[in-house]
Structure 1
Amino acid sequence: MKALFILGMSIILFASCEQKAFYEENTVIPTQKWDYDFTPEFAVHISESQKSYDLFINLRHTAFYPYANCYVLLRQEGAGLKDTAIRYELKLAELDGKWTGNSAGNLYEHSNLIQENITFPDTGKYVFTIEQNMRDNPLIGVNDIGIKLISK
């Protein structure tokens, strides 16, 4: 009986230990129309250069977003990094058109893992910039965009 109680408590504790975000910030897209010129920046202060992180891009859109995906360019700048711009595809819907992610009414929220186990070469400030990279300008139906870093 005691062993069963300990096992049950261990499962509950393990299940409740979600990884907390080291950094998470989202920026609202004005009037839900994401223009090429609107490139939100996210400044992250890294205090431990040996720590690894998982990097996510957060995106919230309305049911009126016209596509099943969204292409973005992510730029990373900081001490010891080359200025890079990498294109990512964020999957937002299944092939049958059903939205993925969490929904609240007419709003759908996605958190897409784009890089695992990244490390930073030095301590200090690192800036991430996100640019929409779709054919439409402005891109309608995007509510907000952001990044999340989870420490490992």
Structure 2
Amino acid sequence: MPNVKMLGIFYFYRFKMKLKAFLFGILSIGLWASCDQTAIINENKPIENKTWLYTSHPSFQFHISDNTKKYDVYMNVRHTPEYAFSNLFVLIYQQHPNKKTYTFRKEVKLAKSDGKWTGKSSGSLYNQQAILHKDYIFPDTGLYTISIEQNMRDNPLKEITDIGLTVIPK
């Protein structure tokens, strides 16, 4: 015959663990939702057939209504483990509301020197977020467009699945 006291303790701890898991899930969803709500844009665009051509420039539009705030601007990269390089060079085209475009080159490190990927793994994909601007103050209010061009020697560049942009006010 089972010890009633031991069964009671077992069920109490089982209930306690389920409650902790439930509360952790609710907290995680709340944090995830609150992070997503603060971003002005958080968008990823797929690269067709995982082959990124020089002529393909994923483009992202967003509106800045407060040019006194600081913003962090990130480029999102998603790639497979078969990606052949440890880095990625891109050209960033940033068009301001006055239609002037500023271009700069950015290197994104995707792997350490030992070959281990630095991004977060999700199944057979790796997600990497690279800072384009930290504490950036946009000069004007209005509609901005950021386009991203791959600037590697290989064309097409294989095994890049998505490119994205995230802009977060501080």
Instruction: Report the identity percentage.
Output: 43
Q: Which protein has greater RCO, CA pairs closer than 8 Å, 6+ apart? A: 1
Larger fraction in helix: 2
Equivalences for 1:31-46 in 2 at 5 Å?
Answer: 31-46=49-64
- The answer on whether the counterparts of 1:79 and 1:121 sit within 8 Å (CA) in structure 2 is no
Match of 1:135 among 136, 139, 153: 153
Counterpart of 1:3 in structure 2 is none
Choose 73-82 or 117-126, whichever is displaced more.
Answer: 73-82
Equivalences for 1:29-108 in 2 at 5 Å?
Answer: 29-80=47-98, 82-108=100-126
Q: CA deviation at 1:45?
A: 0.8
Q: Secondary structure at the match of 2:144?
A: strand
Counterpart of 1:23 in structure 2 is 41
Q: What residue identity is the alignment partner of 1:108? A: Y
Distance across 2 between alignment mates of 1:93 and 1:121: 34
Q: CA deviation at 1:118?
A: 1.0
* Unaligned residue ranges in structure 2 (runs of 5+): 1-26
Distance across 1 between alignment mates of 2:95 and 2:73: 15
Distance across 1 between alignment mates of 2:52 and 2:97: 29
Q: What residue identity is the alignment partner of 1:67? A: F
Q: Secondary structure at the match of 2:49?
A: helix
Larger fraction in strand: 1
Q: Secondary structure at the match of 2:116?
A: coil
Q: CA deviation at 1:52?
A: 1.1
Query: What is the root-mean-square deviation in Å for CA atoms of aligned residues?
Result: 1.8
- The answer on whether the counterparts of 1:90 and 1:112 sit within 8 Å (CA) in structure 2 is yes
Q: CA deviation at 1:81?
A: 7.0
How high is the TM-score relative to the length of structure 2? 0.76
* Unaligned residue ranges in structure 1 (runs of 5+): 1-11
Q: CA deviation at 1:133?
A: 0.2
